[in-house]
Amino acid sequence: MTQELKNILFQVTLSAFLFANQFLFSQVKNSIKQNVVIFLVDDLGSGEVACYASKFHETPNIDALAKNGVKFTQAYSGATLCSPSRAAFLTGRSPARLHLTDWIPGQKQINRRTLTPDWKTYIDKDRLLLPEAMKQNGYSTAFFGKWHLVPRPTPIDMELDDPSKLKLISKMYDEHMPEKNGFDENYGGDHSPNQGGRFLYPKFRDFPGLAGKGTTHDCLTDILTDCAVDYLDRKKDEPFFLYMSYYTVHTPITGKPEYVKKYQKKLADNPNRDYYMKNPRKAAMIESLDESVGRIVTKLEEIGQLDNTLIIFTGDNGSQGNEFVPNFRGNKGTAYEGGVRVPLIISGPNISKGIISNEPTIAMDFYPTILESIGLETMPNEHLDGISILPALKSNAKLPKRNFYWHYPHYDETTPYSSILSGDWKLIKYLDDNSLELYNLALDPMESLNLIDSYPEKREQMVNLLNKELNSVDAQPAMPNPNFDPNKFSGGIREFRRVKGG
């Protein structure tokens, strides 16, 4: 055999070897399970992110997610307050179906026209939560931040002074912590509705998993992110489900002092700029939030998992406080769009980049969407009220037309209501006096013109749709209060309210 022929045979053998190895590597790579990272931000309305509407807040890392994924313009939370919204996220079921319709534990029963129903301050244990489904399929799971799904005695329970019931609720406390609901690790999650006075070092260290962590330069958002980055380092060689459920930007509105000064200066340097949101403390909190998102995305890239990770960024309900998004009416807790419109950005493997989708979505969709995205069978008997929105992520396809509804049979400085969105039409029914409001969002996104008397046929149709939806999930009604004293009635505030919990 000549030397030239030997060289040719060597090159052929080498090429075949390299091709085989490349094929095997690609097969191994393709068999690796896709990771999931969730960013759920407390009280973040869509107008508070720069890539949506804000001209004052600075969110370059969140904006980068939008450029690398799909940004939804009509994304809805499952409820207008946090506990029911979080339950909807984890179960794929509406709060009305779960009978978990208020923030835990809710407000004290007061002299109002209707009575608060005997609602649940927990998720039934027979539900298979999203993290439990992930864990059953070989995922490492970790929770960071606000949980707020632990049963606590409601004000009504405490008034009844029923020792057996209170003892049962106390026993259930541990059973409803993140560790008993599908999460291997928990950093920060307990019954707390907000961070209280624990945003800055060292007060945040009494949260679960945070003892001894942090320095005087850290805020709660920083230390939760430190824990998440450490988790990613430890779990980089196995599939993981990271659920970052921020306490920020819930009240108390505060921020790292150096960031607050930065935004105070920004206001001083731009006295004539029309900033509709211009609270330096909230802007400081949002900057810390944005840094956190950036650090976690950077870590995913460092461990070689960014291209193998589904990332979802959203809020649990609309904005809280006196700063409002100019293109929506109302805020957190109200029946209007400002109470349920949230930002939603999704990026990951095989997802379109830089797409803006106008398809309506709701929090119950995340459960089936995540399962389908990572190649698992969806479980319609669990996530009864959500659908997979994967088609809208991969090809910007249209989603099936659906009705969205919300049900809040409580007084919490607001009036009990139910509402339904069907196409462009939205109906609100106040449960204390059965008054109705009807809006066409395509023509009137600010919900400023009540059309209830102008379209009687549409009114009847929408009322029937709402009743059908509520009946189908056995929604708990707000019943008339036989002891209501109109002489002591102080009324209800239907919008632009402050929420004490949630």
According to DSSP H, which parts of 32-162 are helical? 60-67, 82-91, 95-98, 130-136, 155-160
Q: How many CB atoms lie within 10 A of CB 24?
A: 10
CA-atom Rg of the chain in angstroms: 25
Domain hosting residue 235, numbered range: 34-402
Distance from C-alpha of 315 to C-alpha of 400, rounded to nearest angstrom: 23
Q: State the pLDDT at residue 109.
A: 77
Instruction: Give me the mean pLDDT over the 366-391 stretch.
Output: 95
Structure tokens at 62: 């969140």
**Based on the number of CB atoms within 10 Å of its own CB, is 396 exposed (0-12), middle (13-18) or buried (19 or more)?**
middle
CATH code for the domain in which residue 302 is found = 3.40.720.10
**Region of poorest pLDDT, from 201-215, 344-358, 432-446:** 201-215
Enter the pTM of the model.
Answer: 0.89
**Region of poorest pLDDT, from 81-90, 105-114, 351-360:** 105-114
Q: State the pLDDT at residue 152.
A: 77
Instruction: Give me the mean pLDDT over the 102-106 stretch.
Output: 92
Per-residue pLDDT for 153 more than 80? no
267 within domain boundaries: yes
416 within domain boundaries: no
Highest mean pLDDT among 168-182, 333-347, 404-418: 333-347
The residue among 453 and 500 whose pLDDT is bigger is: 453
461 within domain boundaries: no
Confidence of residue 25 (pLDDT cuts 50, 70, 90): very low
Distance from C-alpha of 457 to C-alpha of 465, rounded to nearest angstrom: 12
Confidence of residue 351 (pLDDT cuts 50, 70, 90): very high
The residue behind tokens 């309506």 is 360
Q: State the pLDDT at residue 230.
A: 98
78 within domain boundaries: yes
pLDDT in tens, 462-471: 999 999 999 9
202 phi/psi in degrees, rounded to 5: -100, 10
Instruction: Give me the mean pLDDT over the 282-290 stretch.
Output: 97
Confidence of residue 486 (pLDDT cuts 50, 70, 90): confident
3-state secondary structure (DSSP) of residue 345: strand
Confidence of residue 129 (pLDDT cuts 50, 70, 90): very high
451 within domain boundaries: no
49 within domain boundaries: yes
Pairing of strands 35-41, 355-357: unpaired
**Based on the number of CB atoms within 10 Å of its own CB, is 236 exposed (0-12), middle (13-18) or buried (19 or more)?**
middle
pLDDT in tens, 215-272: 888 999 999 999 999 999 999 999 999 999 999 999 999 999 999 999 999 999 998 8
468 within domain boundaries: no
207 within domain boundaries: yes
Pairing of strands 403-408, 417-422: antiparallel
Q: State the pLDDT at residue 17.
A: 43
Structure tokens at 142: 């970790």
Confidence of residue 496 (pLDDT cuts 50, 70, 90): very low
**Region of poorest pLDDT, from 97-111, 454-468, 470-484:** 97-111
Q: State the pLDDT at residue 168.
A: 64
Number of domains observed in the structure of the chain: 1
Per-residue pLDDT for 77 more than 60? yes
Q: How many CB atoms lie within 10 A of CB 231?
A: 20
Mean pLDDT rounded to a whole number for the chain: 88
